Amino acid sequence: MIYVRNESTNPYFNLALEEYVLNHMDGDDYFLLWQNEPSIIIGKHQNTIEEINLEFVKDNNIHVVRRLSGGGAVYHDLGNLNFTFVVKNSESSQFNFKKFTEPVILALKNLGVQAEFNSRNDLTIDGKKFSGNAQYMKKDRLLHHGTLLFSSELEQLVKALHVSDEKIISKGIKSIRTRVTNISDFLTELISIQGFKKLLLQHMFQEELQEYTLTEKEIDEVKQIMEKRYVTWEWNYGASPKFNIKKEKRFEGGKVEVLLDVEDGMIGNCKIYGDFFGNGDIHELEKSLVGIKYHEESVKNCIEALEVGYYLNSISREELLSLLWA
């Protein structure tokens, strides 16, 4: 495992760096630890405007950046530590969040903190979430990344994110604040986040890590990716499509929201949002629904011909049909 040192706190650069390691530094397994200035990191398939408190974000100069992986929106600040694995892809690793979070759990155990893998992609302490995880796959490479709330401003997190009542109710809680926590609250000794970072590197891996520092040429290439994708409005927000039918449902595999523009009984446009995970390009699924009759039998025939789980992991054809035609 090679540890890529990264001291940047620029969220646009840091997400571009992940993409650079994934696409241009193959042949080895890589690990990164990094921090961001106050930011909201949006899941690939989410409708940005619906996930953020726009006025609060603007007033507090909080960055909003979309990542390559699915899942839900997360808040980052300098009290949050992010970790990334970029490894060879395999069926045993795909959406196997437990596999990649076990080293974190073991490291925390060595520090006297009892953490657990809970839910589809979360880590908890005493039932409270401190880590959310997501994955992105490209050919033979897999990127797994997660957050570690260490000493984050949790009130800022609550105010910056917009979480639907449906999600709160589905988890049996009254507010975000009641279900998140900081790791530092459970440590017996007071340490800084930089001290915690060093301890993680010591305890997460049995083998000795090889440290790698990016060259100036590589940094320039990362900045090119950043400028091309991560700083653009089109990537981070994108235009809201015209629609006249909105369907939304939360399944075990995540929330799915479908916007349809139906005219004269035909689907003319389709957009799918949500905090789900998936391997396929969601635009392919959207296009498959365009041009068919908005009629139960037609929609059913279309869905039955698709490999739904490829685009919406852990969501069945029957569940998608129940959303589209309910």
pLDDT tens for 250-299 read 999 999 999 999 999 999 999 999 999 998 899 999 999 999 999 999 99
Q: Choose among 78, 99, 39: nearest CA to 236.
A: 39
pLDDT band at 26 (very low <50, low <70, confident <90, very high): confident
pLDDT, residue 164, reads 58
Domain ranges of the chain: 2-233, 245-324
Give the mean model confidence (pLDDT) for residues 237-248.
89
pLDDT at residue 176 in the model: 57
Q: Which CATH number fits domain 2-233: 3.30.930.10, 3.40.640.10, 3.20.20.70, 1.10.579.10?
A: 3.30.930.10
Confidence of residue 240 (pLDDT cuts 50, 70, 90): confident
- Domain 245-324, CATH homologous superfamily name and number: CO dehydrogenase flavoprotein, C-terminal domain (3.30.390.50)
**Cα–Cα distance measured from residue 66 to residue 60, given in angstroms and rounded to the nearest whole number:** 18
Q: Is a pLDDT exceeding 70 seen at residue 163?
A: no
- Tens of pLDDT along 64-111? 999 999 999 999 999 999 999 999 988 767 778 888 999 999 999 989
Mean pLDDT (the chain, rounded) = 91
Identify the band that residue 169 occupies on the pLDDT scale cut at 50, 70 and 90: very low
Task: State yes or no: pLDDT of 238 exceeds 50.
Answer: yes
The pLDDT of residue 179: 83
Which pLDDT belongs to residue 170?
45
The per-residue pLDDT for 168 is 40
Provide the angle, in degrees to the nearest 10, between the axes of the packed helices 282-289 and 296-304.
140
> 67: alpha, beta or left, given left = phi > 0 and alpha = psi -120 to 50?
beta
* Tokens 């988890």, residue located: 171
User: What is the C-alpha to C-alpha distance for residues 64 and 42, in angstroms, rounded to an integer?
Assistant: 7
Question: What ranges make up the beta strands (E) of 119-237?
Answer: 122-125, 128-138, 141-149, 210-213
